[in-house]
Amino acid sequence: MKTILGKLNGIEADRELLQQAAQIIKRGGLVAFPTETVYGLGADGFNEEAAKKIYAAKGRPSDNPLILHIAEENQLKQIVKKIPEKAKKLMESFWPGPLTIILEKKENVPYTTTGGLDTVAIRMPNHLGALSFLKAVQTPIAAPSANTSGRPSPTKAEHVLEDMQGKIDMILDGGEVGIGIESTIIDMTSVPMILRPGFITQEMLEEKIGDVFLDPTLQNGLQEKERPKAPGMKYRHYAPKADLTIIEGELSRVIDQINRLTAQKVSEGKKVGIIATEETKKFYRDGMIKVIGTRKKEETIAKHLYSILREFDEAEIDVIFSEAFSEKAFGQAIMNRLIKAAGHHKIIV
């Protein structure tokens, strides 16, 4: 299959491209598109055969449900049985935006889309290109992140091309995404519960609807026997090919430890990558040093996390050492992804 690469310019000229994308979706094909979080791999959410193609292109286990993306709230009628008051409040407050809400599905949403569950995850992305695409297709679009299963999520069209060239019909290139990590997922089918942390934090949600709980598997890292409620959270995720270790503790000790470990690995003939920040980069002596962002603005760290992991893959790095970051507010989501990318491998100094 030849993958068409089309550039979104945010102007009238996009119309033709979006019509072409809509045709592909109607025929049951796959179109990758930008959102404010990460790129998604879209198919018609009501077409089981199309949803199956998503699983095949990603190499994704079929028990891992997809998110339905919509452009307008009136599309919800086709998808969910009812909208509880608090869920409505969240939609009013955070849509369009990086918040995915889980509700009870209607019969016509196929189990292929929901991974066999009676609930469905829904989100309205806050991205002009995504919204234009969703409006052009006129149907809810089932879309996971557009990466090969297990690899870091794509934050640029080039990343999608790396993983999906020849496997999907089209990639809509909207440039680099704004946020860089996936949406917050909140289950609203019973007590409000965060299943995956993201840019919309627990505090922001509680400010609108009162108590919001965290899936217990998010609190102390994932134990083998515990099953997270978002099926996707149980898989090794967001992972680079190299062995990634996080070093946590007082910053000067973290730097010393990373320098020590790097010297040791380099002497063993290994290629070492270091995830550093603007504030710390000058203290490292060896290895391939990459600046992820500044500690003063956690958004910069989120935005570059996945692309740095991919750059280390490209450079065929064997071992990566990363500084740990604050777990406050949005930091919780950043550290959640970093810890998963590291396969829970963390050293405390």
Answer with the entry of ligand TXA, Mg ion, none that 67 interacts with (C-beta below 5 to 8 A by kind).
ligand TXA
User: For residue 232, what are its two tokens?
Assistant: 């996707």
Q: Fill in the DSSP letter of residue 275.
A: E
Give which of 135, 75, 125 is closest to 95, Cα–Cα.
Answer: 125
Q: What is the pattern of x (binds ligand TXA, CB under 6 A) and - over residues 193-232?
A: --x---------------------------------xxxx
CB of 64 to ligand TXA, least distance (A): 5
Choose which of 6, 29, 65, 152 interacts with ligand TXA (CB under 6 A).
65
For residue 135, give the H/E element and its range: helix 128-137
* Pick 182 or 323: Cβ nearer ligand TXA: 182
Taking CB under 6 A as the binding criterion, the range among 76-84, 141-149, 266-274, 300-308 that sits at the site for ligand TXA is 141-149
Cis check: omega of the bond before 96, within 30 degrees of 0: yes
Distance CA 212, CA 347 (A): 31
CB of 153 to Mg ion, least distance (A): 5
Distance CA 306, CA 343 (A): 15
CB of 137 to ligand TXA, least distance (A): 15
Distance CA 100, CA 247 (A): 31
Residues 278-337 that bind ligand TXA (CB under 6 A): none
What is the Cα 133 distance to its own chain's centre? Answer: 19
- Residue 149 makes contact with Mg ion by CB under 5 A: no
Residue 42 contacts residue 33 (beta carbons within 8 Å): yes
- Residue 180 makes contact with ligand TXA by CB under 6 A: no
- Residue 113 makes contact with Mg ion by CB under 5 A: no
* Pick 126 or 147: Cβ nearer Mg ion: 147
- Residue 126 makes contact with Mg ion by CB under 5 A: no
Residues 27-46 that bind ligand TXA (CB under 6 A): 35, 37-38, 40
* Pick 48 or 278: Cβ nearer ligand TXA: 48
Choose which of 90, 117, 134, 272 interacts with ligand TXA (CB under 6 A).
117
Distance CA 284, CA 346 (A): 19
Taking CB under 6 A as the binding criterion, the range among 11-19, 62-70, 252-260, 321-329 that sits at the site for ligand TXA is 62-70
Q: In what order do the strands lie in the sheet with 319-323?
A: 288-291, 272-276, 319-323, 243-248, 346-348
**Binding-site residue total for ligand TXA (CB under 6 A)?**
29
CB of 348 to ligand TXA, least distance (A): 28
- Residue 114 makes contact with ligand TXA by CB under 6 A: yes
Handedness of CA 160, 163, 168, 169 (dihedral sign): positive
Give which of 142, 20, 145 is closest to 78, Cα–Cα.
Answer: 142
Choose which of 113, 145, 184, 189 interacts with Mg ion (CB under 5 A).
145
CA distances from 64 to 60, 105, 218, 238, 308 (A): 7, 16, 18, 15, 26
Strands (DSSP E) contained in the chain are 4-7, 31-33, 40-44, 67-69, 99-104, 119-123, 141-143, 170-173, 184-187, 193-196, 213-214, 243-248, 272-276, 288-291, 319-323, 346-348
**Binding-site residue total for Mg ion (CB under 5 A)?**
1
CB of 154 to ligand TXA, least distance (A): 9
Q: Residue 225 is which amino acid?
A: K
* Pick 67 or 205: Cβ nearer Mg ion: 67
- The closest residue (CB) to ligand TXA is 232
Site for ligand TXA, rule CB under 6 A: 35, 37-38, 40, 64-67, 100, 102, 114, 117, 119-121, 123, 125, 143-145, 182-183, 185, 195, 229-233
Binding site for Mg ion (CB under 5 A): 145
